[in-house]
Copies of this chain bind each other. A is one copy, B any other.
Amino acid sequence: MLLSKLVGERTKTNPSDATIPSHILLLRAGYIKLVSNGIWSLSMPAKRIARKIENIIREEMDAVEGQEVSFPVVMPKELWAESGRYFSIGDEMVRFKDRCGRDMVLGMTHEEAAVHFARDAVNSYQQLPFMIYQFQTKFRDEARSRGGLIRVREFTMKDAYSFHIDNEDLEKYYYRVYDAYTRIFKRIGMKDVVAVKSDTGMMGGSVAHEYMLLTDVGEDTIVLCSECDYKANMEVAVSVRDNLRDEVSEPLQEVFTADKADIAAVSEFLNVPENKTVKAVCYFIKGTEKPVICFIRGELEINESKLKKVISAEVVPANIKDIPGLHAGNIGPINLSVPDATVVFDQSLKGLNNLVGGANKPEYHIKGIDFDRDVKIETFYDVAKVKEGEKCPVCGKKLVLRNGIEVGNIFQLGTKYTKTMGMTVLDKEGKAVNPIMGCYGIGIGRAIASVAEESHDDKGLIWPMAIAPWQVYLCALRIDELAVKEKSEELYRALEEQGVEVLFDDREASAGFKFSDCDLMGIPIRIVISPKTLAKGNIEISTRDKKIQTDVSYLEAVHKIKELIYQLSG
């Protein structure tokens, strides 16, 4: 490719609305162009990266017997009504009427289409298991698209759906895909990816893993053990905490705490540590005015994903003034009287004594609360967020918290879709059963951005050889001199004939200008041909990270470049 003809604006200055490195550098290097909020065009180099990533994914999906298919972007309401998701998914799903007035949707994912595709064609256990996958455009009308290609509204996703006769078979296959995903991210060139247990969210199902690229700009939090292999998404992470009970329980005692309304203030005012207090957090069940009151140890926070599972309902923060019987800042487990409230106690409180909690009247708290003696509830739940430094539930060593970008996910879906959409097969005994499904996604654009996030320096992007848009950046300096022009064109042709992917900087521009474009675009190998190198019969070869920088004979150039590409391909 001639750089002089490559469409894509390269700029020196950082765009004002971009804050994370991948966003800034993909824009500055001319890889992406904003069309509308969360909607992008990709230029040739970005598309080349996307295709290389897709090819790696395709190879790994084919290796686990995937069948590449294609489902439509636009689907009729009926399909999504069958699964119920037409009604349960909110504004992030685009709905419109076609010219005949029929309700249509834009696919956010394709479970419904996959079941629709397979349900008539598959009717015997002998046809199971199978996996179908596609690369297809999805549209999710995200309220907060951000960060370039990290969180967008329109994107290409590899989505895969497997169908099994029983859970055992799904489990076995699921971990084959688990391993395939590990290989995919490694081959793409992501270094710091971990698979963590996660919540299944709107997808339904039970077991799920997210593949997280650990990076400071990630908006997800991941809990990792500093010693063992334990890792989990914050939404499902658990930890072990000591619930230390004092030897002697003091009596209950009301104390005046004036306007001290939060844990920090009460704790300071009464001079007790925060882990000797009881915190109350109030919610409404979503769409209702039914209150949910959670009690948790003072230094901890509520994990709303866990809470949702405990009470089997989504919650929204409540305005306490709207709940009769509650006094904001003074809510406690003793003398609590709120009709119809769901009350949840976190296990961090279990067995503790000598705690301070709200007195359920203005300006007072109660000291000396003993959960065994005074509260007497049977069941404590885990609804607490894991904190850095708590103990690993597996090995007891310290947990650490990291930020991450979700680069892929896999779900054991169960029969949610086959049951609602009426897909059955006959099992060995001739009985009609619903196949059990797994589903497996990777976003292509986000993968590009994630690699950029992990692999760049202050000069620009640094693409791994496996997905680099071109392998070689051929820099002709003083191309106005005939010898340079001829030799560089000759080398360009020779390399292309040998299947080497070359971006040929054929512009009449200064060395500094060219070098900085080369670094910005992140091409792994740079070749320089100039009057100086040619005088010695040489070219100069260097790698993007400058670990290799060497002169080689012009006559050996093609051979040496191919060798270096092979070496960098790991």
Spell out A's residues near B (CB within 8 Å).
1, 4-9, 30, 33, 35-36, 39-44, 46-48, 50-51, 65, 67-76, 79, 91-92, 94-96, 98-99, 102, 104, 106, 113, 116-118, 120-122, 126-127, 130, 132, 134, 136-137, 139, 141, 143, 153-154, 156
A-B contact pairs, 22 of them (CB 8 A): A4-B126, A5-B65, A5-B130, A7-B117, A7-B118, A9-B121, A36-B72, A36-B104, A41-B69, A41-B71, A41-B113, A41-B116, A41-B117, A42-B70, A43-B117, A44-B69, A47-B68, A51-B68, A92-B99, A95-B96, A96-B96, A136-B137
Determine chain A's interface SS by DSSP, over half rule.
Answer: mixed
Contacts A36-B104, A46-B70, A99-B143 known; list 18 others, CB within 8 Å: A1-B67, A5-B127, A6-B67, A7-B117, A7-B122, A33-B121, A35-B79, A35-B116, A36-B72, A41-B71, A43-B67, A48-B68, A50-B70, A72-B154, A74-B94, A74-B106, A74-B153, A98-B153
Cβ contact of A74, chosen from B65, B136, B139, cutoff 8 A: B139
Contact B127 A67 (CB under 8 A): no
Decide: B41 and A7 in contact? CB cutoff 8 A: no
Complex Cα distance, B95 from A67, in Å, reads 33
A336 CA to B134 CA, complexed, in Å? 64
Closest Cβ neighbor of A155 among chain B residues = B72
> Which chain B residues lie closer than 8 Å to A33 at the CB level?
116-117, 120-121
Which of A35, A39, A43, A65 has most B Cβ within 10 Å? A35
Given the contacts A7-B130, A94-B96, A143-B99, A154 and B73 also touching, CB distance less than 8 Å: yes
Is the pair B40, A120 in contact by a Cβ cutoff of 8 Å? Answer: no
Could you say which residues of chain B place their CB within 8 Å of the CB of A98?
94, 141, 153
Q: Decide yes or no: A99 and B141 within 8 Å by CB, A44-B132, A74-B153, A116-B35 being known contacts.
A: yes
In the bound complex, what is the Cα–Cα distance between A328 and B473 (angstroms)? 74
Q: Which of B1, B46, B72 touches A35 (beta carbons < 8 Å)?
A: B72
Oligomer copy total? 2
Measured between alpha carbons, how far is A118 from B8 in the docked complex, in Å?
A: 7
A491 to chain B: closest CB distance in Å? 19
CB of A202, distance to nearest CB on chain B (Å)? 16
Set of chain B residues within 8 Å of A6, measured between Cβ atoms: 67
Chain B residue numbers with a CB within 8 Å of A65 are 5
Among residues of B, the one whose C-beta sits closest to the C-beta of A93 is B99
Q: Which residues of B contact A30 (CB under 8 A)?
A: 121
Q: Give the contacting residue for A39; candidates B43, B50, B74, B127; CB below 8 A.
A: B74
Q: How far, in Å, is A83 (CB) from chain B's closest CB?
A: 14
**Shortest CB distance A37–B (Å):** 8
Alpha-carbon separation in the docked complex, A381 to B46 (Å): 52
CA A96 to CA B43, docked complex, whole Å = 27
Question: CA separation between A43 and B132, bound complex, in Å?
Answer: 9
* A30 to B, closest residue via Cβ: B121
In the complex, the answer to whether A67 meets B7 with C-beta atoms within 8 Å is: yes
Task: Report the minimal beta-carbon distance from A279 to chain B, rounded to whole angstroms.
Answer: 34
Residues from chain B with Cβ under 8 Å of A74 in the complex: 36, 39, 94, 106, 139, 153-154
Q: In whole Å, how far is A70's beta carbon from the nearest beta carbon of chain B?
A: 4
State in angstroms the CA–CA spacing of A143 and B102 once bound together: 13
Q: How far is the CA of A37 from the CA of B113 in the complex (A)?
A: 15
Nearest chain B CB to A26 CB, angstrom units: 13
Contact call B39/A121, Cβ cutoff below 8 A: no
CB < 8 Å: which of B9, B35, B69 contacts A47?
A: B69
Q: By the criterion CB–CB under 8 Å, are A120 and B9 in contact?
A: yes
Instruction: Say yes or no: A76 contacts B35, CB within 8 Å.
Output: yes
Task: Tell me which residues across on chain B come within 8 A of A156, comparing CB atoms.
Answer: 70
Smallest distance from the beta carbon of A231 to chain B beta carbons, Å? Answer: 34
Query: Nearest residue in B to A143 (C-beta to C-beta)?
Result: B99
Q: Which residues of B contact A102 (CB under 8 A)?
A: 36
Separation in Å of the A492 CB from the closest CB of chain B? Answer: 14
CB distance from A49 to the nearest CB of B (A): 11
Complex CA gap A7/B133 in Å reads 12
Output the least CB separation between A198 and chain B (Å).
Answer: 25
Please pick, from B95, B121, B141, the residue contacting A8 in the complex, using a CB distance under 8 A: B121
B139 & A7 in contact (Cβ 8 Å cutoff):
no
From A142, which residue of chain B is reached at the shortest CB distance? B99
A96: nearest chain-B partner, CB-CB: B96
9 pairs of A and B residues whose beta carbons are closest in the complex:
A96-B96, A44-B67, A9-B121, A42-B70, A91-B99, A36-B76, A99-B141, A39-B72, A41-B117
CB distance from A128 to the nearest CB of B (A): 8
**A361–B44 alpha-carbon span in the complex (Å):** 68
With a cutoff of 8 Å between Cβ atoms, the chain B residues found around residue A1 in the complex are: 67
For the complex formed, measure the closest distance between the CB of A373 and the CB atoms of chain B, giving whole angstroms: 52
| A90, closest chain B residue (CB) | B99
Closest residue of chain B to A71 (Cβ to Cβ) is B41
Set of chain B residues within 8 Å of A75, measured between Cβ atoms: 35-36, 39
Q: How far is the CB of A161 from chain B (nearest CB, A)?
A: 10
Judging by beta carbons under 8 Å apart, are A73 and B73 in contact?
yes
